A and B are shown apart, each in its own frame.
Chain A
Amino acid sequence: MTLTPPDLVRSYASPAEKDADWQRLLQRAEVLRELAGLAGTPEERWPADVAARLQTAAPIADEAPAQRLSRWRSVFASQMADLDQAVLAASSQGGASVVSDIDLRSAVYLAGRLLATVYDITMDQVTP
């Protein structure tokens, strides 16, 4: 099985397209950071829109959304830390221009998978 999706090796058609993906990565990383932060916060203090999305995500019979979010953060802690570090490293060293196309696509993809998992949606439903 090929674990890396084939479209990750595609080059960007233009700098504008690459920059749009860089912006998407920044947005996704920000949402992931917010979700990770909420994992230690009571549900009552979650922003309404976030709470609504998390409360509809694949509930286990006796697992509250807050417990599920904490479990998600634990299971994917290293992936989120790596992603966070990559985004911060690139941000502090020039942004999209210092990241190769495949690196950027991979990071956008990883962030998307993390969001799809926590929201229990498919990749094409992930926004941003």
Chain B
Amino acid sequence: MTGHRSWSADRTARLADPQVAQAAAEAREELDRREEDYRRTLGQLRNARRLTQVQLAAVLGVSQAQVSRVENQADLYLSTLRSYVQAMGGELELRAVFPDGQAAAITLAELLDPADAETSRAGRAGQVDVYTAFALVHVDVGGFDAAEERFRDADAA
């Protein structure tokens, strides 16, 4: 039996249906719109604060080109975003919102502030017994060659 159709043939057949094609086109437009919104957001935020990229760059101690890059970057480090927002005089807040309506604020301090993170880590480490902690180090020593090989493989790729 040769009833199997390839994925691309199946996709072509589905898209031949005007209703499916219309839905796909609308979905694509929506994605494009969201991406465009995302790209505009930081720039609009800056404009609303009546700041130019050059002014913001001066506050951040970076070049105007870097500010432009941040505003157009598809993915950002939280630390970069926080610096950007703080340079405009604001504070970055992060919330996790779930479909069931539950929401929780995520504390950025420990994620981003080295001093806070240090204090927190030291507190946690104080509760870990030394023997267990160093046992993990031994495991790491044993597996280091393999990990390094992965790193070097990428170097050579």
Contacts and interface: CB of A to CB of B under 8 A. Distances in A.
Interface string A78-96: 1100111111111111000
B103 interface: no
Interface residues of B, number: 35
B-side binding surface: helix, strand, loop or mixed?
helix
Contacts of A93: 126, 130
Contact of A86 (B62, B80, B114, B133): B133
Interface string B53-87: 00000000111001000000000010110000000
Nearest to A74: B151
Contacts of B63: 44
Given A44-B62, A71-B151, A76-B147, A106 B128 contact: no
B128 A110 contact: no
B26 to A, nearest CB: 37
A57 B121 CA distance: 30
Listed from nearest, the 10 A-B pairs whose CB atoms lie closest are: A88-B125, A103-B134, A86-B133, A82-B136, A92-B126, A89-B133, A79-B140, A89-B125, A3-B142, A89-B128
Given A37-B114, A99-B134, A42 B66 contact: yes
A93 B122 CA distance: 11
A24 interface: no
Nearest to A118: B151
A91 B130 CA distance: 9
Interface residues of A, number: 39
Given A3-B142, A79-B140, A88 B148 contact: no
A51 to B, nearest CB: 15
Contacts of A117: 148, 151
Contact of B154 (A71, A87, A92, A107): A71
Q: Which of B77, B114, B121, B141 has the most chain A CB atoms inside 10 A of its CB?
A: B141
A13 interface: no
B70 to A, nearest CB: 10
Given A75-B151, A85-B133, A103-B134, A3 B126 contact: no
A100 B137 CA distance: 13
A72 B128 contact: no
B38 interface: no
Contacts of A76: 147, 151
Contacts of B141: 3-4, 8, 106, 109-110, 113
